[in-house]
Structure formats: C-alpha cells, structure tokens
Amino acid sequence: MEPDQNQTSPNLSPIETTYIQLGFDRVRELIAKESHSEPVQQQLLELVPLLTISQMKFRLEKIRALWEFWRSSAPFPLRHFDDLAAVLKTLKAPGALLNIEGFLILRPILEQFRLLNHYFETRVTPENIWWHWLKMMTPQPRLETAIDRVMSPEGYILDHASPELRKIRSAIQRTEAAVRKQMDSLVAFYSAKGMLTDDRPTIKAGRLVLPVSSNAKRQVKGVIQDQSHTGNTTYVEPLEIIDLNNKIRSLQSDEIREIERILRALTAECHSEVAAIGESY
C-alpha cells in the first residue's frame, strides 16, 4: 500500500503539522527554488507564518518599497554567492589563516555589498523603510583591492603579490629552463646511442627522468626512480640534473611558505573588518 501523501510524521510539532496540512511547506519549497544562492534558499525553507498584524504590515511595506525600486529603476544587482558562515568563523580568530577557497567565497560577497550599497544609496531616503538596512551595510573597497592585488578571480596567487614571491618564481623558471636545456642535450646524446625507449623525458616520483632501456641502465649515471611494468624501461634521473631538481624542490617549498605568509597577512586585514562584514552579510 502506498503511503498517504497527506499523512504527517508523528515527530513533527503541532505547528509544523499545521503548515503541512495547509500546504505551507510546499509554498516554501517553490519560493526557495527561485532563490539565487544557497544561504537565501535555506532562509526561505525556514520561513514561518507571521503571527501579528503589525508584523505583516511591516513586511508588506518592505516588499512594496522593493517593488517600487524594481519598477521605477534598474533591477537589483543581485548575484550568486556562497555561504559565508565558515569564512566569518575563520576571520574572527586572531592569527588565523583563510585559505584560497575562502577568499574566493568572500570576494564576490564584498563586491555584492558595494553594488547594493551604491544601488540603495542613490535611491533610498531617510524616510524609506530600507534606510536603516542601508546604514548597516558597509562596503569594503579596501579589502576588495587587497584581495585583487594578491590573487586572480580563479584563485591563482599572482607573481606580484609580494617581491619575494616574484623573486622565488623567477628563480624557479630559470632553474626549470636550465633543466630542460640539460635534458635536451642528454636525450640527444643517449638517443643517438640507442639507449632510450622514448625520445621524450617523463616525470616519475615528481622528478624529471630519462626512459632508459633496462639493458643500458648501468651506462647512464644517475638515480633510478622507477621501472615500467614490463621491465623493459628503467626511469633514471641523470646525475647532471639532480642538483637542479633539488634546487627546484627547495624553491617550491619557499614558494609555498611565501604564499602562506601572504594569505595570513591578507587574513589579518580582513580580520580587522570582520564585524562590519558580518553585519553587512
């Protein structure tokens, strides 16, 4: 037998049971589907009917004012945004580190603050019901600029995020170029002797290696990093580039530490404004 669609769970409160019987839960779901972001959707799903006439009048007045804005001027500059709760929790902790993903959540919300503030600032007067809400929203152009100075919209930490990072990445590029040049020379040399199974170097265990015929592996000085499943190819890191590869590894560790320092400094900037960000959100 199929369950009765109108049957309610015995665990629901009387008020929730009434909502379901009246179809209010279905109304909430339909409205939530039209929302532009997950936080708003969750708020809509948690809506409850208003209990007093004064509450209803206040809400209707706010809706009427919004409708007037919408009808008489440009639409609201609303965009999708993610839940900021976890980001705010991190920013509230002194000395915390907000990761790149956190800044990618925060950045568009800061832009949303600025766009909405500008929209209402040019349209709302002190007599308007939305005036108090406008005063609670604080644009953060300084933080927007600080984030844009450090990372791209995709979350890549820019070379000019700090002089030290630029220096490290330049050193990595120079060393990688030296490795490629040395490997090209070694490939040409060993390939001419028929000692390679492929004319292209490859990566094994994070190291650049030569695909050497296993029969000739003792003729190539270096460190064996791997072997093919067939046993026909031995992957050798040539002695000539080991120091260069080690230097690259060291520089990459320096790069990670510098990026962490940059993000920690940026987090500290946002920490100083976390109260205003939370209130605006």
Decide if 280 contacts 137 (C-beta within 8 A). yes
Helices 239-271/85-92 angle, 10° precision = 90
Residue labelled with tokens 């279905």:
26
Decide if 265 contacts 169 (C-beta within 8 A). no
Residue labelled with tokens 């400094």:
265
Please state whether beta strands 222-227 and 207-213 pair in parallel, antiparallel, or not at all (unpaired): unpaired
Decide if 188 contacts 158 (C-beta within 8 A). no
Instruction: For 174-222, give the DSSP string.
Output: HHHHHHHHHHHHHHHHHHHTT-BS-SS-EEETTEEEEEEEGGGGGGS-E
Decide if 105 contacts 82 (C-beta within 8 A). yes
> 156: Cβ–Cβ under 8 A, 6 or more apart, which residues?
none
pTM: 0.75
Q: What is the pLDDT of residue 172?
A: 97
Residue spans per domain, the chain? 14-71, 85-158+273-280, 164-260
Q: What is the pLDDT of residue 129?
A: 76
**278: its two tokens:** 């939370």
Decide if 115 contacts 159 (C-beta within 8 A). no
Q: What is the pLDDT of residue 166?
A: 98
Q: From residue 267, how far is each of 28, 64, 181, 263, 271 by CA, in Å?
A: 37, 39, 40, 6, 6
Q: What is the pLDDT of residue 171?
A: 98
Long-range contacts (CB closer than 8 Å, 24 or more residues apart) made by 42-49:
48/15, 48/19, 49/19, 49/24
Q: What is the pLDDT of residue 26?
A: 84
Digitized pLDDT (tens) for each residue of the chain, 281 residues in all: 444 444 545 566 776 777 777 787 888 888 878 777 777 788 788 888 777 888 888 888 888 877 777 777 677 777 778 889 999 999 999 999 999 999 999 999 999 999 888 888 877 777 777 777 777 788 999 999 999 999 999 999 999 999 999 999 999 999 999 999 999 999 999 999 999 999 999 999 888 999 999 999 999 999 999 999 999 999 999 999 999 999 999 999 999 999 999 999 999 999 999 999 998 88
CATH architecture of 164-260: Orthogonal Bundle (1.10)
Distance CA 83, CA 72 (A): 31
Distance CA 77, CA 70 (A): 11
Query: What letters, b where the CB count within 10 A reaches 16 and e where it falls short, cover 104-134?
Result: bebbebbbbbbebbebbeebbeeebebeeeb
